[in-house]
A and B are shown apart, each in its own frame.
Chain A
Amino acid sequence: MDDLLSEFLTETSESLSTLDVELVKLEQNPNDPDILSNIFRLVHTIKGTCGFLGLPRLEAVAHAGENVLGKIRDGELVVTPDAVTLVLESIDTIKYLLGELEQNEAEPDGNDAGLIGRLNHFADTGTIMGSDAAPAAEAPSDEPEMTPEEALQAAFDAAEVDPDVGAPAEPAPEPEPAPAAAAAPPAAAKSQEIAPAKKPAAEKAKPEAPRAEAKESSVAAQTIRVNVELLENLMTLVSELVLTRNQLLQMVRGKDDSEFTVPLQRLSHITTDLQEGVMKTRMQPIGNAWAKLPRIVRDLALEMNKKIDLQMIGADTELDRQVLELIKDPLTHMVRNSADHGLEDIPGRREANKPETGTVTLNAYHEGGHIIIEISDDGRGLNLDRIKAKAIANGLATEGDLEGMGDQQIQQFIFKAGFSTAEKVTSVSGRGVGMDVVRTNIEKIGGTVELKSVEGRGSTFIIKIPLTLAIVSALIVESGGERFAIPQISVLELVRASNNSEHSIERIHDTPVLRLRNRLLPLVTLKKILGLDTTEESDEGVDEEAFIVVAQVGTYSFGIIVDRVFDTEEIVVKPVAPILRDLSLFSGNTILGDGSVIMILDPNGIATRTGEITVGGSQGVEGKAKADASDGETTSMLVFRAGGSEVRAVPLALVARLEEIDVENIEHSNGRPLVQYRGKLMPLVFIDGSYQMKAEGRQPTLVFQDRERTMGLVVDEIVDIVDDVLNVELTADQDGLVGSAVIDGKATDLIDAGYYLELAFSDWFGTEDTGGEKKRVLLIDDSPFFRNLLTPMLSVAGFKITAVETAEQAMDLKNRGVLFDAIISDIEMPGMNGFEFAEALQNDELWGDIPIIALSSHTSEEDFERGRQVGFSDYVAKFDREALVSTLVQTLSNM
């Protein structure tokens, strides 16, 4: 059977059994909106999937059923036993159709006009049409008015015609209104269990059952099916083992000569292997969840008259089975949304000057214990005005509210329940179930979903989910004498605030806030919200020094003030006891390595508790950084002060370490300051000749390292690390400065690390010059900053550098007949870009053989491949100095 179909059948029959239960519950509690929306979603999903699989008959029934449920959900109809019976009947019909589908891999002939008619009638009028009539009477059947006895007889008669199916027809003893003809599905409603058995007999009498069995056994031989529960249990046991191991390790730590050390080490290794092994049994490539997407997108493209190219990158990224199951539906939903709402149709795309074929890209990759899944399209993006109008129409916000919201906040509305911007309700989507379900499902597994959208250019959803649910990384903090765990996934950064540092806590009418990178971060005191603050001391004293955990929930960032921060630990999340379930501030509890029980805080709960609405609130720190990032490439810069109040910066990548040096330890040799550092002498340099060191205490120092040599640049204070777009305005007429740039809104001097290296070691640039001719290297980069950065650095490494600004200039050099041993080229450049440049050189007589190394901040597999194709011999990430030098050396030695 078609994989897609069989999966659909399994899934749907699961949903159906849930539906049965839920519907009966609904009948008992007709006013429970949770049950109702659950039912609605289930039916909606069935309908949607049917549509894509090309099952019109099923879809029609589900659609009609959904209509009724939709009306009930909107309060237009009331739940009555009759209504439930009617919906149950449509469910039974769906079940019957599924049974047929399973056996014949096709929908049976006929239609369900009668049932659909009644459903629609009910949806329109709220009364049951001909509720007294027997359901069978309505069905368009070949023999509509058969008595049960007749029907049964017909079944047996049919069975006798074909002796092959005599056996399956036998278990049909109840005189139910048997579905004698395939076209009488509503009649099958009451005899659900026996219907499949009788079906073959009554119908064309094909011997289907034996064939199905044969198929199953051939699949079963290849692998062993293991109950998921067994694996779960195994996982729990292994988690316990890991914890016990950690406990033992902690006991032995610090005792060097313990006789347990060696066996414990072995135990530790085996435990780790075991943990990995068990994890692996649960790991599946994410491609499994994507398998049915191409077809869904294809069918959708046909139906909507669109051309859609579905790109899937990273399909072999593995993640926990449990997580995979949980994100499958949200993913399908989102891809469907992107293809349906996101992309324009062909005329629309032509109008927007875009290629006719729209692209939906799925990209999955690992990042620090998490899986990131990006779903992006190059469609029309979110229409802010429409979202606003809809939010007002649905009463989610007032015009005044919207006025004060940023674009990103407004976009967040699509995650609200009952919100759909699709103008029409299509069979695909647009009923306002969708993004809220997606978000709920993803958050349920501890993930986050982010949205970026530019109107007219497309939208990108970024889902971040933990690799596994069983073990999570958590930050351990202390507050009010108790320890708590905060899941690492929601922690953005840690800030230490004190009155005499850059970061201090300020107050607006007793509400603490923190200035962080030119934003105000709302703060909550953990002690207070947990009710641990028994001392009632004035807050002023507490804030002398505090640790702030900057947490993010959705797009809302806030700081949690804690007393102490310990390190991170891998924890196994366990649910709390039922009597504590209503404490929304905790998501669970766990046992730490030292054997103590600790509560796990739920940042979501804290955010809700502190009054933040679930629609992303103030655009947080992270949000700002992200927005910046989309404007251009960002560079991590270390911002510091030295000699004066102005701030200076140096690319973080150049700094090897940050140290604090005790002034007392500074020695002098030959009139120059030195410290002993890691068993060697490290020269210290100052920002300029007039710089005065502190008389005592500790002096922060930036350590630069190049192979064997280290140098310390003494500074007053390390201010921050900033990710920002770097626009250097060259004013380098002063020694030691590359120029100035606006970093994080402030004019900042960029120091020239090369100058200080030379200051520390006058022979720094000459070290490699040990004979032989220097290799000539051409450097093409449009950024003056990078040219200034790389030129001294590569000179240090012993190359003769010619730096030019554009590929066109490089071509000029070529035309003049200048020769080089290697070329380093940036990719993104105005005018001719790196790819075009390399392509142009590929068949050149003079420069065709010169190896070209690409320099870029984008080092995805795709870029790499493209680079290879156009003739780049290697690809190096910007700022990776060591890789650049070693690649150069390697490339040149290969010649």
Chain B
Amino acid sequence: MSDSNALVPSQEKGGVLDLGGDSKDFVTAYIGKQLFGIPVLTVQDVLGPQRITRIPLSPPEVAGSLNLRGRIVTAIDVRKRLGLRDKDDDDPGMSIVVDQGGELYSLMVDQVGEVLSVPKKAFEQNPATLDPRWREFSDGIFRLDKKLLVILDVTRLLDFTSSIKQAG
């Protein structure tokens, strides 16, 4: 990964997202009212509420680790990662498990929706005015009928080293 994420304009990241074919499949998830999409092929599992072991001293975005059929999965609080406030209700939420470089991560979201197949002509680059934090984690936007689908860049979402650099 390049070290200078913050400086790279979002347009240049379009390459990460393969737009071959007429449409693209995404697992959708809600955080608050916003709809997010994760490329379906990176998704390993969708989980209900899990028992999570806290990891002391870890970054705040790391919620802990959990046992998924004998494998240890690191749970990431996507809300915190996106700079959102904690949820108001007690709903335990759901998780999407993704594979990143052989390691499993569980992305904690409010709710997991259906798998959507979206036409690639509905794709838009990130608006230049988007919150920089979101711009970093977003691969682009799809215009759906009534909503906008923000595509999450899982690699960047899980790259904690670059965000530490940013913060510093």
> A243-B70, A580-B62, A591-B67 in contact; A596/B105 too (CB < 8 A)?
no
A585 lies within 8 A of chain B by Cβ = yes
Q: Which residues of B contact A574 (CB under 8 A)?
A: 72
Whether B67 contacts A597 by the Cβ 8 Å rule is yes
CB < 8 Å neighbour of B105 from A483, A532, A577: A577
Among A244, A585, A595, the most chain B Cβ lie within 10 Å of the Cβ of A595
Whether A579 contacts B160 by the Cβ 8 Å rule is yes
B66 lies within 8 A of chain A by Cβ = yes
A823 lies within 8 A of chain B by Cβ = no
Distance to closest chain A CB from B104 (angstroms): 8
A210 lies within 8 A of chain B by Cβ = no
Whether A240 contacts B70 by the Cβ 8 Å rule is yes
CB < 8 Å neighbour of B158 from A243, A579, A591, A596: A579
Whether A578 contacts B54 by the Cβ 8 Å rule is no
A583 lies within 8 A of chain B by Cβ = yes
Which residues of chain A from 239 to 258 have a CB within 8 Å of any chain B CB? 240, 243-244
Distance to closest chain B CB from A479 (angstroms): 9
| Closest B residue by C-beta to A532 | B56
Whether A577 contacts B74 by the Cβ 8 Å rule is yes
Whether B53 contacts A597 by the Cβ 8 Å rule is yes
B127 lies within 8 A of chain A by Cβ = no
| Closest A residue by C-beta to B56 | A530
Whether A579 contacts B53 by the Cβ 8 Å rule is no
A682 lies within 8 A of chain B by Cβ = no
A599 lies within 8 A of chain B by Cβ = yes
Task: Report the bound CA distance from A782 to B24 in whole Å.
Answer: 90
Q: Which residues of A contact B58 (CB under 8 A)?
A: 580, 583
Task: Report the bound CA distance from A586 to B56 in whole Å.
Answer: 10
| Closest A residue by C-beta to B161 | A579
Q: Which residues of B contact A531 (CB under 8 A)?
A: 56-57
Q: Which residues of B contact A598 (CB under 8 A)?
A: 53
| Closest A residue by C-beta to B160 | A579
For chain B, the bracket of interface size reads: 20 to 34
A589 lies within 8 A of chain B by Cβ = yes
Task: Report the bound CA distance from A211 to B158 in whole Å.
Answer: 55
| Closest B residue by C-beta to A609 | B57
Which residues of chain B from 35 to 60 have a CB within 8 Å of any chain A CB? 51, 53-59
Distance to closest chain A CB from B73 (angstroms): 8
B10 lies within 8 A of chain A by Cβ = no
| Closest B residue by C-beta to A244 | B70
Whether B101 contacts A589 by the Cβ 8 Å rule is no
Whether B74 contacts A596 by the Cβ 8 Å rule is no
Which residues of chain B from 66 to 88 have a CB within 8 Å of any chain A CB? 66-67, 70, 72, 74
A273 lies within 8 A of chain B by Cβ = no
> A482-B56, A530-B57, A597-B66 in contact; A579/B51 too (CB < 8 A)?
no
Q: Which residues of B contact A483 (CB under 8 A)?
A: 53
| Closest A residue by C-beta to B64 | A597
Whether B70 contacts A579 by the Cβ 8 Å rule is no
Whether B101 contacts A578 by the Cβ 8 Å rule is yes
Whether B53 contacts A585 by the Cβ 8 Å rule is no
B65 lies within 8 A of chain A by Cβ = yes
Q: Which residues of A contact B62 (CB under 8 A)?
A: 579-580
Distance to closest chain A CB from B101 (angstroms): 7
Distance to closest chain A CB from B110 (angstroms): 22
Task: Report the bound CA distance from A57 to B57 in whole Å.
Answer: 54
B12 lies within 8 A of chain A by Cβ = no
Interface string of A580-609 (1 = CB under 8 A from B): 100101100111000111110000000000
Whether A482 contacts B53 by the Cβ 8 Å rule is yes
Q: Which residues of B contact A596 (CB under 8 A)?
A: 51, 53, 67
Which residues of chain A from 508 to 532 have a CB within 8 Å of any chain B CB? 530-532
CB < 8 Å neighbour of A599 from B51, B55, B101, B158: B55
B103 lies within 8 A of chain A by Cβ = yes
Distance to closest chain A CB from B75 (angstroms): 10
Q: Which residues of B contact A530 (CB under 8 A)?
A: 56-57
Task: Report the bound CA distance from A674 to B56 in whole Å.
Answer: 53
Task: Report the bound CA distance from A482 to B66 in whole Å.
Answer: 13
> A531-B56, A532-B56, A583-B57 in contact; A597/B72 too (CB < 8 A)?
yes
Task: Report the bound CA distance from A532 to B53 in whole Å.
Answer: 13
Q: Which residues of A contact B54 (CB under 8 A)?
A: 482
Distance to closest chain A CB from B94 (angstroms): 19
Distance to closest chain B CB from A263 (angstroms): 21
> A243-B70, A589-B65, A591-B70 in contact; A577/B53 too (CB < 8 A)?
no
Task: Report the bound CA distance from A531 to B67 in whole Å.
Answer: 23
Which residues of chain B from 2 to 47 have a CB within 8 Å of any chain A CB? none
Q: Which residues of A contact B67 (CB under 8 A)?
A: 591, 595-597
| Closest B residue by C-beta to A586 | B55
Whether A577 contacts B66 by the Cβ 8 Å rule is no
Task: Report the bound CA distance from A244 to B65 in whole Å.
Answer: 18
Distance to closest chain B CB from A591 (angstroms): 5
Whether A580 contacts B74 by the Cβ 8 Å rule is yes
CB < 8 Å neighbour of A591 from B57, B64, B72, B105: B72
Task: Report the bound CA distance from A598 to B72 in whole Å.
Answer: 10
Q: Which residues of B contact A480 (CB under 8 A)?
A: 56
CB < 8 Å neighbour of B103 from A577, A585, A590, A597: A577
| Closest B residue by C-beta to A237 | B70
Can you name 27 A-B residue pairings with CB atoms under 8 Å?
Answer: A244-B70, A483-B53, A530-B57, A531-B56, A574-B72, A577-B74, A577-B105, A579-B62, A579-B160, A580-B55, A580-B58, A580-B62, A583-B57, A583-B58, A585-B56, A585-B57, A586-B55, A589-B72, A591-B67, A591-B70, A591-B72, A597-B53, A597-B67, A597-B72, A598-B53, A599-B53, A599-B55
| 9 additional A-B residue pairs with CB within 8 Å, beyond A577-B74, A597-B65 | A240-B70, A480-B56, A530-B57, A577-B72, A578-B101, A579-B62, A579-B158, A579-B160, A596-B67
3 A-B pairs closest in CB distance? A530-B56, A577-B74, A597-B53
B residues adjacent to A (C-beta < 8 A): 51, 53-59, 62, 64-67, 70, 72, 74, 101, 103, 105, 158, 160
